Chains A and B, each alone.
Chain A
Amino acid sequence: MNMHKTALIISLAAFALAGCPSSGGPLDSDTGGSVIDDTSGSDGSGTSGVDGSTIRSGGFTDSDAGDTTADSLIIYFEYDKSEVSAQYVDILAGHARRLAADSTQRLRLEGHADERGSREYNIGLGERRAQAVRRLLLIQGASAAQISTVSYGEERPAAFGSTESDYEKNRRVEMSYRR
């Protein structure tokens, strides 16, 4: 998880502008991407959940994006934050291209929060995270009609404990394609 954390810290500066469509520019494609391999199904609670060991670094390049079989992907966030970390930029660019290339593709974004704080406020956080991912995809060519969002707040945790490592796994946006 160390790499994960470091990347998160770097990310903030790069993506503080994520909410600002006119900026468009700070997508640095040199940043190493990472893929969270989740084949457990789109509801994200299919198997024993996502654990740190399923995070592989640098596994997703532009050439993969065109014919990716990774139909779902998870993006993690910092506590009480909704900025998308730089490590996900390339991955999202790939998904944006996939959406732009095929207007029949539909992507669902599910925003989640860890259990700290009140439940309804966490619905707000989950929604804000899903929207941050959505904006990045829109900036890069996906169309609004292709993307739907839902926030589950803390209601559908991926990890059920109350440790910091459980919380890291629960602050996330799950992406899944629907046809």
Chain B
Amino acid sequence: MKKMVCAVGRMCAVFGLFIGLSSVARSELVIEITRGAVKPIPIAVVPFGWSEATPPAADVAAVVRWDLASSGRFESLPPENMLERPSSGVGIDFDNWRMVAADYVLVGEMSRQGSEYTLQYQLFDVYGGRQIIADRLIMQERDLRRAGHRVADAVFEAITGVAGVFSTQIAYISVSGRDANRTFQLIVADADGNNEFVLLESRQPIMSPAWSPDGRQLAYVSFEDGSAAVYAQTLRTGRRQKVSGRPGVNNAPAWSPDGRQLALTLSDADGNLDVYVRNIADGKLTRLTKRRSIDTEPAWAADGKSVYFTSDRGGAPQIYRVSARGGDVERVTFEGRYNARPRISADGRLLSMVHDDRGSFRVAVQDLQSGTLQVLSNGFLDESQSFAPNSSQLIYATRRDGRGVLETVSVDGLISGRVKSVGNDVREPVWSPFRR
């Protein structure tokens, strides 16, 4: 049996279980746009000014350039095509940027005092010849990449009107090995695939990761004791607690938008699955569904007042809705014979689901106002979709060449990306909320 080492974690070794935080040398995920916007916005991110002889530990301008291009909505001008390389607005000759057809130009100057770095940057609209953003960020060396994501978020929002998600994180499950050597890992990485760390490693299945609304904890299901239990783990410390370990099914955790309640699926003595809401402060359970059907996969409405869930009470899985306090159940999906795993966008406008599209399982969204359903993905086994916190795209799991991989798609279906991963089966991606 493989020997495990505990870094921050508490218990380990016996079950091949590892809890805590450990950085991974590899970077498992790399996002690559497979279909971008028809007319991506051309932007020039000029290499940032820096007065020292040795360059800083991370090329922050390159991070910004890469982030913007990875969204599929921008086209970054390669630095070698730039006619000038100003580091502040004073040095810009807009004609030089009109000539290379850049709509926007971002300039910045980095400096260091001791261990503290400062970045002053400005964004300009080339055709209007006017400044759109001017800001200053102060950071430690280890946060240089993070600063790049912050700048990219600000630029993305200023130009598109939609908040950027470059500073967010993705949690996912990675599975390696087969049979007796199968190892499950719960991993958290930056949205660009960097800074991966392993929260939990086990020989038994780990599934259904769910972010707390403040982004500080992940709830998940682990079978490490030979049966399913729901745990909540704090990212920063690696500490965790068992939230629900009743006999039978303890699955599908989902935090309420205010973080005070956890919806989950429990089974009774006869193995009947129902959706419950657990009050986190006192552990009090409210049962939301009562039928002898599979009722599972709770997802909170954006306002926290109701809970969507999957049920086969009508013969095949469809999505239903019930008040978070219980009561009458209302069916929400009607198109197709299989609709499961509801997820609601943070803006409350869209319901996403796994939809049986002529024999293939695909990610679809339903406009909650109009009821219109749109299929967004094109695989045969697409699942585990998760909205980005800006409600503008989804990440989901699919299979390519017999392996689990992740893909992204914009909610209008126009922009799609593949998350390149090395070796392992990756699945169940969940997009973090915005950092508060």
Residues of chain A at the chain B interface (Cβ within 8 Å): 43, 45-49, 80, 115-121, 123-125, 127-128, 130-131, 134, 144, 148-153, 155-156, 160-162
The chain B residue with its CB closest to the CB of A108 is: B226
Chain B contact residues, CB within 8 Å of chain A: 178-180, 182, 205, 207-208, 223, 226-228, 247-249, 251-252, 265, 267, 269-271, 273, 294, 296-297, 310, 312, 316-317, 338, 340-341, 354, 361, 380-381, 383-384, 399, 402, 428
A121 touching B294, Cβ below 8 Å: yes
Q: Is B207's CB under 8 angstroms from A155's CB?
A: yes
Q: Chain B residues near A118 (CB, 8 Å)? A: 297, 310, 317, 340-341, 354, 361, 383-384
User: A118-B297, A120-B208 are known contacts. Are A45 and B381 too (CB-CB below 8 A)?
Assistant: no
Assembled-state Cα–Cα distance A39/B55 (Å): 62
Cβ contact within 8 Å between B399 and A117? no
For the complex, what is the distance from the CA of A149 to the CA of B270, rounded to whole Å? 10
Known: A124-B294, A125-B294, A162-B402. A150 touches B226 (CB 8 A): yes
Q: Report the minimal beta-carbon distance from B213 to chain A, rounded to whole angstroms.
A: 20
Contact in complex: A117, B354 (CB < 8 Å): yes
Residues of A within 8 A of B317 (CB): 117-118, 121
By beta carbon, the residue of chain B nearest A152 is B205
A121, chain B: closest CB distance, angstroms: 5
Query: Are A121 and B310 interface neighbours, CB within 8 A?
Result: yes
State how many angstroms separate the Cβ of A59 from the closest Cβ of chain B: 26
- A121 x B340 contact (CB < 8 A): yes
Q: Which A residues lie within 8 Å of B340 (CB)?
A: 117-118, 121
Q: Could you tell me if A45 and B249 are in contact, using CB atoms closer than 8 angstroms?
A: no
Closest 6 CB pairs of A and B: A124-B294, A131-B271, A155-B205, A118-B341, A118-B340, A120-B252
25 A-B pairs within 8 Å (CB atoms) are namely A45-B179, A45-B182, A80-B316, A116-B361, A116-B381, A117-B338, A118-B310, A118-B383, A119-B208, A120-B251, A120-B252, A121-B296, A121-B317, A123-B252, A123-B296, A124-B273, A124-B312, A127-B248, A127-B249, A127-B271, A127-B273, A144-B269, A150-B223, A151-B249, A160-B178
Is the CB–CB distance between A150 and B402 below 8 Å?
no
- Give the residue name and chain of the A residue nearest to B250 (CB): A123
Point out the residues of chain A lying under 8 angstroms from B205, CB to CB: 152, 155-156
A-side contacts of B341, CB under 8 Å: 118-121
| Minimum C-beta distance from A23 to chain B (A) | 16
CB proximity of B402 to chain A, nearest CB, Å: 7
Q: Are A120 and B297 in contact (CB under 8 A)?
A: yes
Report chain A residues within 8 Å CB of B180.
Answer: 43, 45-46
